[in-house]
Structure 1
Amino acid sequence: MSAHMIAMLYAEDFSWIGEYSANVPQIVRKYGGDYDFVSAGIIERPEGEMPIPTGIGTFIFPSREAIRDFLNSEEYRPYVELRNRHSKTEILIFDGRSD
């Protein structure tokens, strides 16, 4: 069963995103993931009270284990540090539908 990851990014300065975006997609693919960064415009919240992120990344991986392997990989670590220096991120992992 596939697993999905959503990363909600909260940042004011995106000067670092070019380096991140140039390198992270190939690391995601190494762990079997597909990277689809969705933040090309205004994000709306028609219901609820959660803070509106400045960017949202959506990903699909073959499994939760593959997501955890990616998140904890040596290759990704420098980009986690880069991202965390400039933003706050909330990450959710969940299983895909089996039908």
Structure 2
Amino acid sequence: MTFYSVLEVTPTNDTWVADYIEPANRLVAQYGGKYLARTSSHERVEGEGGAPALRIIIEWPLRQAAIDFMNDEEYAPHLKARTAGSVSHHFLIEGKDDLAS
């Protein structure tokens, strides 16, 4: 079953960004993930709330691939830097329709 990581990221400083991109790209690919969107071009069309600087969507072949990526020892210092240098929200969403008849 396909899963999607949906992230909202607003950097509070950008000192971590340059060192984050290459390892994140490589490790996402290593775990079978594929970036569908990494963009500051987004708009709210319904509801209220904050406006994150970036929205990121990653497609994963399995839930475990996303979990393994997040728990990878090589990723750990980059995750720590990102969470320390940003306001981040990460949702893992199963690619299914619970409301389909």
Same fold (TM over 0.5): yes
Structure 1: gaps spanning 5 or more residues: none
- 8 Å contact from structure 2 (residues 33, 58) kept in 1: yes
Q: In 1, Cα distance between the equivalents of 2:14 and 2:57?
A: 18
Decide whether aligned partners of structure 1 residues 45 and 39 sit closer, same or farther in structure 2, where only a CA change above 3 A counts: same
Task: Give the structure 2 partner of residue 6 of structure 1.
Answer: 6
Q: Residue 48 of structure 1: CA displacement?
A: 1.0
Structure 2: gaps spanning 5 or more residues: none
Query: Number of matched residues?
Result: 97
Q: TM-score, normalised by structure 2?
A: 0.83
Q: Residue 7 of structure 1: CA displacement?
A: 1.1
Task: Give the structure 2 partner of residue 17 of structure 1.
Answer: 17
- 8 Å contact from structure 2 (residues 8, 89) kept in 1: yes
Q: Residue 97 of structure 1: CA displacement?
A: 4.2
**30-39 or 20-29, which moves further after superposition?**
30-39
Matched-pair identity in %: 28
Q: Residue 34 of structure 1: CA displacement?
A: 1.0
